Amino acid sequence: MKMGVLMFSFVRLMFLCIFINGSLSKLERLEHPVTKSDGSLNILVVGDWGRKGGFNQSLVAHQMGIVGEQLDIEFVISVGDNFYDDGLTGDTDPSFEASFSHIYTHPSLQKQWYSVLGNHDYRGNVSAQLSQVLPQKDWRWFCCRSFVLCSGMVEFFFVDTNPFVEKYFTDPGNHTYDWNNVLPRDKYISNLLHDLDLEIKKSRATWKIVVGHHAIKTAGQHGNTQELVDHLLPILEENKVDMYINGHDHCLQHIGSDGEIQFLTSGGGSKAWRGIIQPWDPKELKLYYDGQGFMSLHVSHSQAKFIYYDVSGNVLHQYTLSKKKSKRFSLF
């Protein structure tokens, strides 16, 4: 009965995401119940994964399951590029099962997945991923263009970063993007930035985390997304956001300075780009790993700790932010 109620709620929200969260860009708010007695939250973050198990996707999924069980996670966040190479063709596309349902089978991963869209997803039928049909096939699936997720002391602000990238409109090459419910682009972006700013400003959460597909700061192949540096970053800085989490670059990465926003890339869900790294200030670049893996996040009232794991489950890097002492420190 409980599962049926949850599915009904998410189906209804899917409908709203498709038909309301377009040009009007009104951000939907979701609540994910806190289950731990101390109010803490454990989650996993993975991106750039949907390759039907190939390029070590299945191995990453296996390790996610092991870590997910150890941490007793509440949910999983996907930072986009959910289905390669060109998204889904429709809500009956077998790639959904082949890249998602049949891959993330560990019992610990049978939790809600909250997803944003990546540029590869926009090359397919976007409405398919936002559809109310997919959660009927696999109740874990939830995808929306932009939304707010509240879970106790944490608020996650999911942002559709794809329309910001001008070259997808002016120089798409051989790719075709599905811009239904996005055009006119300028209005979509303006509304989204306005609504995001309002949502963050009114938030009383201890921790504020923004999630998108494209990187704001990265030493990876794609480089900084200048449109996000110009338009999104000022909002994050003004509102003292704690973290920005993204994918897009197929690596695991942590850029940040003490007391500033931490920029976290978790784009190692399958195919990685070995040996591709751009020069970056070593004082800021705390991790750059050009292989597959994923990230965990543990949040309590006083601390937020994130850990990066490789495809074998080895810990690559961990870092803790502290609210209690207004201080941020690295463990190693």
Residue 48 labelled as part of a binding site = yes
Cβ atoms of 161 and 146 closer than 8 Å: no
**Domain harbouring 230, CATH code:** 3.60.21.10
Of 271 and 1, the structure prediction assigns the larger pLDDT to 271
Domain that holds residue 111: 2-330
**β-strand partners of 208:** 155
**β-strand partners of 246:** 265
Closest CA to 51 of 108, 92, 90, 104: 104
Residue 298 labelled as part of a binding site = no
Taken as a whole, the chain contains a residue count of 332
Q: Is 167 helix (H, G, I), strand (E, B) or coil?
A: helix
Residue 266 has pLDDT above 70, yes or no: yes
The pTM for the full model equals 0.91
Cβ atoms of 289 and 310 closer than 8 Å: yes
- As annotated, the active-site residues are 222
Residue 259 CB coordination number (10 Å)? 9
DSSP 10-23: HHHHHHHHHHTSST
165 CB-side CA count, 13 A: 22
Q: Is 317 helix (H, G, I), strand (E, B) or coil?
A: strand
How much is the pLDDT for 17? 55
Residue 160 labelled as part of a binding site = no
Report pLDDT digits (tens) over 214-248: 999 999 999 999 999 999 999 999 999 999 999 99
Domain count, the chain: 1
Report pLDDT digits (tens) over 99-137: 999 999 999 999 999 999 999 999 999 999 999 999 999
Report pLDDT digits (tens) over 167-217: 999 999 999 999 999 999 999 999 999 999 999 999 999 999 999 999 999
**Mean pLDDT of the residues in the chain:** 92
